Structure 1
Amino acid sequence: MLGLRFKSVASQLRVLAFGASDLNADHLLSVAEKYLPRRVTWARNKRHDFSDVYVLWDVLNIDAVIELENEDGKLVRVGVSLVESEQRGRDRIYDLKSRRWYGIRQALGLEQYWVFAVKWKDFPKDNGQWIDILYGEIDTPIDGSGCRLVVI
């Protein structure tokens, strides 16, 4: 539910990049089949519709992809996951630093990956708050992994 809520905000802010031409269903499925074959098999057994890009994002376990312009004027593509606890966020970051997830991020052109740890009740309700959060993060130097936990 947090992911859906964030997608709505990102869409309103016009930073949601799910519709990028290189992130089409065929490409997403090929990435999922290469890096997450068990999840693809599970989704097939559940009769999920692989022509729907949102289903494929769920298979890839990515809540959103956003594109933000940093202070240097460069457009940066960022993968986003939302979790309700800081511990789950740390666990997700640990997974994202694996070789498999590095390959997924490379295949999808994700230069950075952020995991937001935010409880439902603390989810920023004002889009202005999200603008401050997102643009504050895009201009903050990131470590070599390209992954960051953001606690809200």
Structure 2
Amino acid sequence: MSYQSKLWFQRIARELKIVDKEFLRTITVATLRPAIRSRLSDRVEEASRRGEDLQDPATWLDLVLIDAVVSLENIDGAAIRVAVLVTTRDRHALNELGLVKSQNFRAVRSALGIQRHWVILLDSVAPPSQEQLVDSLYEQIDQPGECTLIDLRS
């Protein structure tokens, strides 16, 4: 994953006012730890061995492949909470999509109140315009499926 692409998406999501502020305001390590440790203990142990800061909520979100959480209204006006992972590599996108589709990741999302998880594939040199991003996200929110790969490369 390109760290710059992750930051780009987070900045654009803030500008578009789609960041789920309620989720960010209420999420804590105390909430994340039991939801993630019970289903993905191997990922937690690996992070601990690498010396990652397990007192930082961002570390826990990284463990479950979440770069951002957005809230989008579908065509019926219902707000849907979506976890987003941003990547710039094809192979990683497919591998990560497989992970987020797993039963363990689904259980973590459910415990955190997240309805969907999207993997967004970007071109790090030429990211999409804000308009293209918005169109893609709102097109996808009305589609069935909990986990999806959204390819936004030109």
TM (norm. structure 1) is 0.84
Partner of 1:150: 150
Partner of 1:79: 83
Bigger Cα displacement from structure 2, 61-70 vs 79-88:
79-88
- In the TM superposition, residue 39 of structure 1 has moved relative to its aligned partner by 2.5
CA distance in 2, matches of 1:48, 1:18: 25
State the secondary structure of the residue aligned to 2:109: helix
Bigger Cα displacement from structure 2, 32-41 vs 14-23:
14-23
Partner of 1:132: 135
The answer to whether structure 1 residue 9 and structure 2 residue 9 are counterparts is: no
Partner of 1:92: 96
Cα 1:43–1:19 change in 2 (3 A) is farther
Aligned residues: CA RMSD: 2.0
Partner of 2:64: 60
Following TM superposition, the consecutive aligned residue runs of length 4 or more in structure 1 with deviations greater than 6 angstroms are none
Q: Percent identity?
A: 28
Partner of 2:52: 48
* Contact kept in structure 2, 1:18 and 1:64, CA below 8 Å: no
- In the TM superposition, residue 18 of structure 1 has moved relative to its aligned partner by 6.0
CA distance in 2, matches of 1:116, 1:142: 17
Consecutive unaligned residues of structure 2, counting only runs of 5 or more, are: none
- In the TM superposition, residue 115 of structure 1 has moved relative to its aligned partner by 0.9
1:6-37 Cα deviation digits (max 9, x unpaired): 11111221211265244322111222211222
Consecutive unaligned residues of structure 1, counting only runs of 5 or more, are: none
- In the TM superposition, residue 105 of structure 1 has moved relative to its aligned partner by 1.6
CA distance in 2, matches of 1:72, 1:89: 30
CA distance in 1, matches of 2:103, 2:33: 19
Partner of 1:118: 122
